[in-house]
Amino acid sequence: MQDDELLALLLSFTNAGKELYRVMDGLYADFGSFRRCFLASYTDLMRVDGMTHHGAMLILLTAKIINLRDKSQLIGRKITDYKELFLTVIKPSRDEEFWAAVYDDSDRLAAVELLASGLQGRVSVNISDIIRFVTYHNSRKFVIGHSHPDVFEVVASPHDIRVMELIGSSMGNIGVRLIGQVIVAGRNAEFFAYSPPQNK
């Protein structure tokens, strides 16, 4: 089933179905493609002319199910190409996203999760959310990944490097090793390894 057909089917079950063609035109005009609708926030969906609460919630729920299905195929795999992992889970979006992936003692993927999303070009993640995610899965190693929306060249800014060093240092203090970070821009990605500071 094509993305536009799935959206039309979902909206036909809600009161947005009465304005189906107007809503579909609005979705395409606002997001550029129907696939991007499944990556939108509730606020962005509700800006579409004719969209209803139930229609937006049904789209968000479907997006969540699709995302869970995508990730379930990765769990347990021995992934050493971190770029491949984050290109799989980070979809093109208007919003910057921050993800983390944790590994078991056999270097197999235990879990990968979206920890924060924000406005274009800016996302704020709390170190306590990272600690909670890593310790919940009883992991001792993890990789972080985030997106640079609407650009295609991967460049690690000084801020990106500084954040990675702060996270790596903080997690190292509790015995958890940050392997590095992946930055995704469009369909391009680069892995930047984290090197803990040497004790003098």
Pseudo-torsion of CA 74, 105, 97, 66, nearest 10°?
20
- Give the whole-angstrom CA distance, residue 44 versus residue 27: 10
Top-confidence residue, 86 or 118: 86
Residue 66 is predicted with a pLDDT of 66
Q: Which two tokens stand for residue 56?
A: 């937006």
- Relative to beta strand 97-103, strand 177-185 is unpaired
* CA neighbor of 61 nearest in space, from 95, 37, 27: 37
β pairing state of 109-117 and 97-103: antiparallel
Residue 80: CB atoms within 10 Å: 10
Q: Are 176 and 139 in contact (CB under 8 A)?
A: yes
Confidence of residue 120 (pLDDT cuts 50, 70, 90): low
The Cα 83–Cα 90 span in angstroms is 10
Distance CA 50, CA 191 (A): 42
pLDDT in tens, 18-32: 788 889 998 888 877
pLDDT at 165: 95
Q: What pLDDT does residue 172 have? A: 94
State the pLDDT at residue 163: 92
Per-residue pLDDT of 123-155, as tens digits, reads 778 899 999 999 999 999 999 999 888 777 788
Measured distance CA(75)–CA(52) in Å, rounded: 35
pTM: 0.65
User: Is the CB of residue 65 less than 8 Å from the CB of residue 38?
Assistant: no
Q: What residues form DSSP beta bridges with 114?
A: 99
Given this model, what pLDDT does residue 187 score? Answer: 79
* Average pLDDT of every residue of the chain: 84
